[in-house]
């Protein structure tokens, strides 16, 4: 193999790892940990699944802001003063949502690992 092939493989691996690494400054909790947080009025809860997924099953207290609308709606519908706890179906979209919120300047962001798949 020549250097170009090694470079292409290295770039591919970099982006692959970057996608799955935890976002700096984002807490990750389990659904068991989430149960202890649900009554905290100083936290805001966001479900980033589609409206159809949300209607099918959701956790009381979670506001539905689909991932594809989060960047536009976060500024109007969420407070930067309170922690934002984010959930989706499996943890992938909520991880993306956490990155978006951090880029928008939200300092206290928590992702629910494994999402609704682990909720019982």
Q: Rounded distance, CA 24 to CA 37, Å?
A: 21
Residue 88 among the catalytic residues: yes
End-to-end, the C-alpha distance of the chain in Å comes to 50
To which H or E segment does residue 6 belong? helix 3-20
Q: Lowest-confidence range among 12-21, 79-88, 94-103?
A: 12-21
Radius of gyration of the chain (CA): 16
Whether the predicted pLDDT of 96 surpasses 80: yes
Choose the catalytic residue: 88, 97, 109, 112: 88
Q: Rounded distance, CA 86 to CA 93, Å?
A: 9
pLDDT tens, position by position, 1-18 = 688 888 888 887 777 666
44 contacts 86 by C-beta, under 8 angstroms: no
Assigned fold of 25-118: Oxidized Rhodanese; domain 1 (3.40.250)
Whether the predicted pLDDT of 35 surpasses 90: yes
**For the chain, which residues make up each domain, given as ranges?**
25-118
């Amino acid at each position: 193999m020549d250097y170009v092939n090694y470079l292409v493989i290295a770039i591919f691996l970099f982006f692959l790892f970057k996608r799955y690494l935890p976002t700096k400054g984002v807490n990750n909790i389990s659904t068991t940990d989430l149960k202890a947080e649900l009554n905290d009025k100083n936290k805001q809860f966001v479900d980033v699944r589609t409206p159809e997924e949300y209607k099918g099953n959701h956790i009381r207290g979670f506001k539905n802001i689909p991932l594809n609308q989060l960047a536009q709606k976060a500024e109007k519908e969420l407070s930067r003063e309170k922690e934002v706890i984010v959930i989706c179906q499996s943890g992938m979209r909520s991880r993306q949502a956490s990155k978006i919120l951090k880029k928008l300047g939200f300092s206290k962001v928590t992702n629910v690992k494994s999402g609704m798949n682990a909720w019982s």
